Amino acid sequence: MSESRPPFPPYDAESAARKARAAEDAWNSRDPVRVSLAYTPDSRWRNRAEFFSGREAIVAFLARKWARELDYRLIKEVWSHHQDRIAVRFAYEWRDDSGHWFRSHGNELWEFDAAGLMRRREASINDVPIAERERKFHWPLGARPDDHPGLSALGL
């Protein structure tokens, strides 16, 4: 295994939660290359209506995403896990270049190889316009602090 990303399958509740938090922290970095390294070189993605595969496509997708979704902050929560698969629900808040705020809610289905790299990601996402005063994700850009509530605690 030249590349690996612990924890490795099969996943239990604790290791699935660690995997989800590591993914959340990476995405909150808004660094497309860093994020892409958690995926197999030929990882297959469905994100909303986009279908693509490979790390170069992941980097290009994320660069476009974070150029459009400003002040991005994400929280992920494990929904279910079984052997080499994890299902998460998530929400993230962002604003567009006009200052309009959104909360995007979604679900992801993840499948991992033996080295803990994600080989498949399926994401369904819905955007909800919110007023700035309705924001719930208040931390400096970057990883969510350990004491910031998760989705369930926030009532999402």
Residue 97, class by beta-carbon neighbours within 10 Å (0-12 exposed, 13-18 middle, 19+ buried)?
Answer: exposed
> Which residue in 53, 52, 43 sits closest to 113, CA to CA?
43
Query: Which residues are within 8 A (CB) of 129 and not within 5 positions of it... i.e. 6 or more apart?
Result: 100, 101, 102
Tell me the mean pLDDT per 10 residues along the chain, length 156. 89 98 98 98 97 98 98 98 98 98 98 98 98 97 97 97
φ, ψ dihedrals at 60, nearest 5°? -65, -45
Q: Domains plus CATH for the chain?
A: 13-134 (3.10.450.50)
Q: Is-above-0.85 flag for pTM?
A: yes
Integer Cα distance of 113 and 106 in angstroms: 23
Where do the DSSP E strands lie in 113-148?
Answer: 118-130
Residue type, 5: R
End-to-end distance of the chain based on CA atoms, in angstroms?
38
Integer Cα distance of 77 and 96 in angstroms: 25
Please tell me the predicted confidence (pLDDT) of residue 1.
47
